Chains A and B, each alone.
Chain A
Amino acid sequence: MSHQLPEHPDRLWRTPDPKRSYDVVIVGAGGHGLATAYYLARNHGITNVAVLERGWLAGGNMARNTTIIRSNYLCEESAALYEHALKLWEVLPQELEYDFLFSQRGVLNLAHTLQDVREGTRRVNANRLGGVDAEWLDADQVREFCPIVNTSPDVRYPVLGATLQPRAGIAKHDHVAWALARKADEYGVDLIQGCEVTGFLREGDRVVGVRTSRGPIGAGRVALAAAGHSSVLADLAGLRLPVQSHPLQALVSELLEPVHPTVVMSNHVHVYVSQAHKGELVMGAGVDPYNGYGQRGSFHQIEHQMAAALELFPVFARAHVLRTWGGIVDVTPDASPIIGPTPIENLFLNCGWGTGGFKATPASGWVYAHTIATGEPHPLNAPFGLERFTTGALIDEHGAAAVAH
């Protein structure tokens, strides 16, 4: 599993000044914004596009996540969306001509209680019926697949089994962003960093552009892709969103030799651990319970996830934490994203991915580009509209998405 880090291409992207107007302005140059720009150009031939970024390209949640890619969601709507993403991940390195170290090393979701076993086996069956690869492993098979997991029955929460999605894995997130940015740029998309959106240009109830720290920019359509800051932006347009922003932390250890062959997640003791290509253990757990935009989280969350990691992997007892960091995630009441048109004409919304947006990056861009280009949702994101919070047709992934929120 050890890899040499790949060489970067000679050319990445231009740094243009903003034009006076574009067909589409995307707000947010994270993974989702960049993927949207890429698929607007590739799938729909729309290249007069600007992606505006307040900070620097892919410097928000795209650089702060634990890079896990999987599609083993319970609800049909979610599994279909994330499986579309996984199929795109499988072809993207070649298509983007940029190796981002997509490694299909599998994801184990451990079961520690009878309830976990029932949830896991149900999810395996649901996934298989939906065309998503999934297997159920007993404790011995877990040990065989990932020998460093402690499968002793004599711990507080013994491992009773696990779901396995063999096609799941990790990718190098920075390289993913750069690969998408480079190809979008190649199509003529303007990637404009250091450009904060401070308001919207309106004509009646239509949006016709954005105010920015670098002047007004006209737009045929404006597409928000700002993750944790979506409701701050939407407020500027007078739109209230069913979204709450929370700090979510991750951490890495010092570099270790390759010992961790897969991704291990445990909802019950709550930690997820994988080993990056370079050798760090990458760990994450739950969000801080309170609202926050400070990009730092509570220390006790780290203590909690370290305790969980040590119970699962006694072999890591002497590993040192190298660094921790926080991102701001936008959590919806049903733990599912919102992708679609808004009540304001020409203003589109992609937010609410909560703790799990990275894995969806290509599918999010694919369906959002379709929605922006045609004005109508793609069949895959039709169930994820804002109107579900009025109709009550929620896609309730709380606890069912194989990770607690």
Chain B
Amino acid sequence: MLLIACPWCGERDELEFHYGGQAHVAYPADPEGLSDAEWGEYLFVRDNTKGPFAERWSHAAGCRRWFNVVRHTVTHQILAVPSDRPTAAGRPKPVTA
């Protein structure tokens, strides 16, 4: 069972969260210019890192907000979470591997 620190609510157990896969996957800037292969890549291919991995979690049974986490996919140790609690006006700092 993972203990995940929601940047808004604090540490909660894994059951309260929904997993969102790899972080920092941007929607294509020019969707109409994409080839079939590029669309396939965007839709279906994600990093599958063995080691530190930046990924998204949603606090589904809590504040329902999304945030990024860096987790080691072998040890499951959570290596980084957003460092600053965001204000109403701002978003948490992005976390990268």
Contacts and interface: CB of A to CB of B under 8 A. Distances in A.
Interface in B33-58: 36-37, 39-41, 43-46, 48-50, 53, 55
B67 to A, nearest CB: 14
A365 B15 CA distance: 39
Give the interface SS of chain B, mostly helix, strand, loop or mixed.
Answer: mixed
A241 B48 contact: yes
Nearest to B72: A294
B48 A231 contact: yes
B25 interface: no
A244 B44 contact: no
A353 B1 CA distance: 25
Nearest to B18: A289
Given A244-B21, A292-B76, A389-B40, A300 B45 contact: no
Contacts of A293: 50, 73-74
A390 B40 contact: yes
Interface string B60-88: 00000000000101111000000000000
B74 to A, nearest CB: 5
B5 to A, nearest CB: 15
Given A294-B76, A299-B1, A300-B1, A240 B15 contact: no
Contact of B75 (A294, A390, A392): A294
Contacts of A299: 1
Contacts of B75: 294
A290 B19 contact: yes
B36 A290 contact: no
A292 B1 contact: no
A244 to B, nearest CB: 5
Interface string A107-139: 000000000000000000000000000000000
Interface string A236-260: 0000111111000000000000000
Given A291-B53, A390-B36, A244 B48 contact: yes
B70 to A, nearest CB: 12
Contacts of B11: none
B97 interface: no
Contacts of B1: 298-300
A294 B76 CA distance: 8
A148 to B, nearest CB: 30
A145 to B, nearest CB: 35
A292 B14 contact: no
Given A291-B53, A333-B43, 12 more contacts: A243-B48, A244-B48, A290-B2, A290-B19, A291-B48, A291-B73, A292-B76, A293-B74, A298-B1, A298-B2, A390-B37, A390-B39
8 contacts: A229-B50, A244-B21, A244-B48, A290-B55, A291-B21, A291-B48, A298-B1, A390-B36
